[in-house]
Amino acid sequence: MSAAYDDRDGKIWMDGQLVDWRAANVHVLTHAMHYASSVFEGERAYGGTIFLSRKHSERLHFSARQLDFEIPYTVDEIEAAKVAVLAANGFTDAYVRAVAWRGAGEDMGVASKRNPVRLAIAAWEWGNYYGDAKMKGAKLDIAKWKRPSPETAPSHAKAAGLYMICTMSKHEAEAKGCSDAMMFDYRGYVAEATGANIFFVKDGEVHTPKPDCFLNGLTRQTVIGMLKDRQIKVIERHIMPEELEGFEQCWLTGTAAEVTPVGQIGDYNFEVGAVTREISESYEKLVRA
């Protein structure tokens, strides 16, 4: 599936029914296109089962409420729709994207209470998010844009608008030959990559930024549980930029990224060490169990 995303064979679930892929369209005056009134989930199916599927559906509802709208489908209905999408497209291993948004309606200003809330679910086959980085470690730039204060945006929602600075940061990173960019938060602490949480290893202990102004990813939570099950100490805290020099290993976590080792961030280098390899391999086994 290398064609443009609007020009493929297959089915997409949209507002309660499966439609032809190329027919899954919205009007140019859709509110979400103009004002970012949209939330989404990225999920992966392994062997026909979506990992943490229900948690993703529950978070989609949570994110919508943070943006002051209600999705007109229950969690159970969303779960059934995802199963239908996989079956209709004949996928067992796939990436699944659920997206809810304020559509076109009577309102076209900032307020949009009279506009319908819509929901779509698509799936496609998607390999490693960072290509061959799982073997040699991803190379990251350091972004100039910072994750915002939770007083300025609903930072714990998976809201489309929060990804604007991520797109800009990733484009700049790719122009420098990097796979992604690491972002600081509004206070100057290490936060995350543009679409993945970040972990560091030092002296056998794992350090990861406290998610107080960015998404506490489901993969992040899973990996923390895996580390604790192995009696590896996990320290969630604020991490200063100057600490990067002292860390030995680093990896990213996310539904798309899964567990991806990091070899370089700016001028700082990391080894793809034993802890990183063990967690990456164990996660691969877990999602396919």
Please provide residue 123's backbone torsions phi and psi, each rounded to the nearest 5 degrees.
-145, 145
Q: What is the pLDDT of residue 129?
A: 80
Active site residue 158: yes
Q: What residues contact residue 248 under an 8 Å CB cut-off, 6+ apart?
A: 201, 202, 203, 270, 271, 273
Do 115 and 38 touch, CB atoms closer than 8 A? no
Q: What is the pLDDT of residue 1?
A: 52
One-letter amino acid for residue 234 of the chain = V
What tens-digit pLDDT sequence spans the chain (289 residues)? 568 999 999 999 999 999 999 999 999 999 999 999 999 999 999 999 999 999 999 999 999 999 999 999 999 999 999 999 999 999 999 999 999 999 999 999 999 999 999 999 999 999 888 877 677 899 999 999 999 999 999 999 999 999 999 999 999 999 999 999 999 999 999 999 999 999 999 999 999 999 999 999 999 999 999 999 999 999 999 999 999 999 999 999 999 999 999 999 999 999 999 999 999 999 999 999 9
Q: What is the pLDDT of residue 130?
A: 81
Nearest in space to 280 (alpha carbons), one of 223, 210, 241: 223
One-letter amino acid for residue 144 of the chain = K
Q: What residues contact residue 83 under an 8 Å CB cut-off, 6+ apart?
A: none
Do 69 and 35 touch, CB atoms closer than 8 A? no
Q: What residues contact residue 127 under an 8 Å CB cut-off, 6+ apart?
A: none
Q: What is the pLDDT of residue 131?
A: 74
What is the SS3 assignment for 38? Answer: strand
Do 78 and 121 touch, CB atoms closer than 8 A? yes
User: Considering the entire predicted model, what is its pTM?
Assistant: 0.95
CA 268 from centroid of its chain's CA atoms? 25
Task: Say how many residues make up the chain.
Answer: 289
The one catalytic residue in 11, 134, 139, 158 is: 158
Which tokens sit at 266?
A: 């700016």
What is the SS3 assignment for 72? Answer: coil
CA distances 241 to 18, 58, 104, 234, Å, are 48, 34, 44, 19
Q: What residues contact residue 230 under an 8 Å CB cut-off, 6+ apart?
A: 278
Which tokens sit at 274?
A: 């034993």
